[in-house]
Amino acid sequence: MKQKVDWIIHCCENGACDECGRVETNFLPYTCNAHTHGMERYEHMDFQMVLHLGHREIMRILNTLGLRVQAGERFKDGDMVAGIYEDCNIRLTKYIETGRWVLRVIIPDKYNVFPEDDHCMETYRLQLLKTDALCPSDRFWV
Ligand SMILES: [Zn+2]
């Protein structure tokens, strides 16, 4: 049976919103607040990604995780997840996104170093920021 994506992905980011035309400029460079809505259907937390790796990659990762939940897999805070990248695991860490808990995808840098390590590349360290801190003067989350 073919699996069907029955959740949505929001990507709050710098630039003009397709729907309202409002222009967002407050996100720190290389960050966004991309997240799913609808995983509660599977009694599961939604997922979030805050590194702006491009829409295709964000969709690929969030949808891959969603499809795995749909197929019966369950993820929790602190899990290391294989199968997203060939050469490294990602980690899922609980964060608050617009008043709810989500599992944030934490991606190690190209040397496979995770953000809490001082040697991690600067951009990847931004993944440790609270959701609000990614977009400092913005209070307009969808
Ligand atoms: Zn949203």
Cα–ligand 1 centroid distance for 64 (angstroms): 18
Q: Which residues contact 76 (CB under 8 A, 6 or more apart)?
A: 92, 103
Closest to 123 (Cα-Cα) out of 29, 56, 34 = 29
Residue 43 Cα distances to 13, 28, 80, angstroms: 27, 32, 20
Distance 12 CA to ligand 1 centre (A): 8
- Cα 97 from Cα 107, distance rounded (Å): 18
Residue in 33, 58, 26 with CA at minimum distance from that of residue 129: 33
* pLDDT tens column, 3-53: 899 999 999 999 887 777 888 889 999 999 999 999 999 999 999 999 999
- More confident of the two residues 17 and 113: 113
Mean pLDDT of the residues in the chain: 93
Q: Give bridge partners of residue 90 from the DSSP assignment.
A: 81
- Whether the per-residue pLDDT at 78 is higher than 60: the answer is yes
Q: What is the whole-number distance in angstroms between the Cα of residue 9 and the centre of ligand 1? A: 7
The pLDDT value given to residue 20: 75
Give distance in angstroms: CA of 15 to centre of ligand 1.
16
Tell me the CA–centroid distance for residue 108 and ligand 1, in Å. Answer: 24
Pairwise pLDDT comparison (12 vs 136), residue with the higher score = 12
| pLDDT, position 21 | 81
Determine the pLDDT at residue 27: 93
Q: Greater confidence, 108 or 17?
A: 108
pLDDT of 107 strictly over 80 = yes
Q: What does the pLDDT read at residue 137?
A: 72
pLDDT of residue 138: 53
- pLDDT-derived band at 142 (thresholds 50, 70, 90) equals very low
Give domain limits for the chain.
8-134
